[in-house]
Amino acid sequence: MLDKGHEMKAETFYIGQEFEDTYPEMADLWCHANNAHIIQIGTKYIIVSNESMPLPTKEDIKLFRANAYLLEVDPITAHISRLRDEEQTEEIKQEIEDLIAERSEKVLEIKAQFPYPEEEIVENKDEDTDSI
């Protein structure tokens, strides 16, 4: 069962990883970007490799990143926006600063979790490949 409220760091997903009862939504996105899928055996969910499936394209990875940003980054951005509408006390300013740092960390995690294929990065090094 997909668990939309469960958060997990990007680097914790791997082939063979097991989850009991539920699995985090980010694990599903990780699987799509890493040629894998999740199977259910009893109450366990296990990440397994898609041996015969092609690797995702740069366009696929852009979509995976966009979905991950929607799930992980956009709620933080919305919270920052709401706080900016309030009276700017020192406490509010500090909370905004903390949220901006958290958002930046999430963006780096997502980029690490859904890297562009190396050949695409080398060929397009002068282009803005991190726009999504």
Query: How confident is the model over 6-18, as pLDDT tens digits?
Result: 454 545 799 999 9
Q: What is the pTM of this model?
A: 0.56
Residues in the chain, total: 132
Q: Tell me: the pLDDT tens digits for 77-89?
A: 999 999 999 999 9
Looking at residue 33, its pLDDT comes to: 85
3-state secondary structure of 42: coil
- Nearest-angstrom CA–CA distance, 54 and 24: 24
Task: Answer whether residue 113 shows pLDDT above 80.
Answer: yes
